[in-house]
Structure 1
Amino acid sequence: MRMIRVSLADDEVMIRAGIAAILTSGAGIEVVSETSDGAEAIEAAKSCRPDVAVLDIRMPVVDGLTAAEEIRRAVPGTRIVMLTTFDEDDYVDRALRIGVSGFLLKASDPRELLIGVRAVVDGAAYLSPRIAQRIIAGLPDRRARRVSAERAVSTLSRRETEVLTLLAHGLSNSDIARRLHLAEGTVKAHVSAILLRLSARNRVQAAIFAYQAGLID
């Protein structure tokens, strides 16, 4: 089994140590760099070329989102997972534009970190359910957005709706293929069609559509 290589950036030493311990407790995951600010995280990603960069949103010198944007540009093969807290919702829209693959709360169950890292490596999006609920609750014109999301989702076929629901649960294409007894190539085609129909930039935005439309409780 190929090891998943992770770089980690958080300016709080004890939190960074705890996250590193959680990551290395998971079979098949190794932490290849630990840094304390965004500038260091960018250089570490360029040097180590990790599979996943786990970044705290708030860091000195260069913040996590700026680091994420530069890492996405310089090392496009590296997936980004952002660590956030409940008072940082304003950052989410920018993160979605950058192409972040996952959002996790620092207060989440440690198992969620392992699940999220493995999910994004497999090409899935991972949005902590508590973050998703917070995002949707905080959106302006929530009712109008729900109606709009429901209307957009209604244009999907039954199979595409099934794929979207599983995608929103954090399943990768291969997991969805196994669950629905489809070829992985067929699932990829469905995901591409879903993103196009919903005008979603990436899987995370598609997952938010699923939450808004009520496909996910």
Structure 2
Amino acid sequence: MQSPITVVVIDGHTLTRYGLFRLVSADTGITVVGECGLASEAPALVASSRPDVVVLDVALPDADGLQLARELRDRHAELGIVVLTAQAEDDVLFRALETGVSAFVHKTAPNTEVLGAIRHAAVAAASFTATGLAHALARRAQVAAEPVGFPAGGMLLSPREFEVLSLLATGLSVPAIAGTMFVSLSTAKTYVSRVYEKLGAANRASAIMTAMRLGLIKPELSVMA
């Protein structure tokens, strides 16, 4: 029999933590092994309980939840991280994408979506999923007032760079891209930097949006639940 997915819940609202505990407890394949309400308590709790997945709020009483997510990702590469939010802004979603979390879920989402995000994070910690991301990327691309400038010849991606762009669009982290392409981490970082440079992008979200505008990738192929 397969062991249940272990979860730590980090949320400043007692009722939310209780609700998540009740939701998860109803699923025999998932179990809560710890919970806390402050970011300052989270690192020690995660280190001691060693969960498969952490579910945390974007807005914690004592810190930015996405900053905590970044710290947890840096310390625990294999940890699944699900971010819950009451903020529907696209910018929050893009920040989560850049932070390296596994899933981004609105607090009003159906129970099945929350549980699905936890299961995704448990088996694919390095891959990002979020309902509506493709639409958010399309909205961001539509409001871009000016065309992006490119270095001379910069729009020409090599086959290897196009492969990296495609993997970035699926939500894979840079270490996961390195593993998929069977190259070193430093080589993968070099490819990513070249893609950003040629697309005139500063980060993953910007690169994906630009690639969509140029027709290099299709919206339905970019990161989405």
TM-score band w.r.t. shorter chain: 0.5 to 0.7
Q: Whole-Å Cα distance in 2 between the matches of residues 23 and 143 of structure 1?
A: 46
Structure 2 partner of 1:79: 80
Alpha-carbon deviations, 1:123-174, whole Å to 9, x = none?
A: 16343323553454246518958xxxxxx9x9779xx7xx96x957xxxx9x
In the TM superposition, what is the alpha-carbon distance from 1:21 to its structure 2 partner?
1.7
Q: Whole-Å Cα distance in 1 between the matches of residues 66 and 5 of structure 2?
A: 22
Asked if 1:209 is matched to 2:208, the reply is: yes
Structure 2 partner of 1:178: none
1:125 to 121, 124, 127: 127
- Structure 1 residues 42-121: aligned runs within 5 Å: 42-121=43-122
1:6–1:53 Cα contact (<8 Å) kept:
yes
1:105–1:131 Cα contact (<8 Å) kept:
no
Alpha carbons of structure 1 residues 25 and 135: separation in structure 2 relative to 1, 3 Å:
farther
Alpha carbons of structure 1 residues 167 and 115: separation in structure 2 relative to 1, 3 Å:
farther
Q: Whole-Å Cα distance in 1 between the matches of residues 53 and 72 of structure 2?
A: 10
- Work out which of the two has the higher radius of gyration on C-alpha atoms and give 1 or 2: 2
Of residues 135-144 and 125-134 in structure 1, the stretch that sits farther from structure 2 once superposed is 135-144
TM-score between the two structures when normalised by the length of structure 2: 0.64
Amino acid at match of 1:36: G
Structure 1 partner of 2:201: none
Structure 2 partner of 1:33: 34
Alpha carbons of structure 1 residues 156 and 26: separation in structure 2 relative to 1, 3 Å:
farther
Of residues 83-92 and 98-107 in structure 1, the stretch that sits farther from structure 2 once superposed is 83-92
In the TM superposition, what is the alpha-carbon distance from 1:102 to its structure 2 partner?
1.2
1:11–1:60 Cα contact (<8 Å) kept:
yes
SS in 2 for 1:21: helix
Structure 1 partner of 2:7: 6
Q: Whole-Å Cα distance in 1 between the matches of residues 22 and 145 of structure 2?
A: 39
Structure 2: stretches of 5+ with no match in the other structure: 149-154, 197-203, 221-225
> Identical aligned pairs, as a percentage?
28
In the TM superposition, what is the alpha-carbon distance from 1:46 to its structure 2 partner?
1.2
Alpha-carbon deviations, 1:27-64, whole Å to 9, x = none?
A: 31111111111111222111111111111010112331
1:80–1:100 Cα contact (<8 Å) kept:
yes
Structure 2 partner of 1:179: none
SS in 2 for 1:141: coil
Q: What RMSD over aligned residues (CA atoms) do the two structures have, in Å?
A: 4.3
2:8–2:46 Cα contact (<8 Å) kept:
yes
Amino acid at match of 1:73: D
Q: Whole-Å Cα distance in 1 between the matches of residues 189 and 114 of structure 2?
A: 26
SS in 2 for 1:54: strand
Amino acid at match of 2:139: A
In the TM superposition, what is the alpha-carbon distance from 1:75 to its structure 2 partner?
2.6
SS in 1 for 2:121: helix
In the TM superposition, what is the alpha-carbon distance from 1:19 to its structure 2 partner?
1.6
**1 or 2, which has the higher helix percentage?**
1
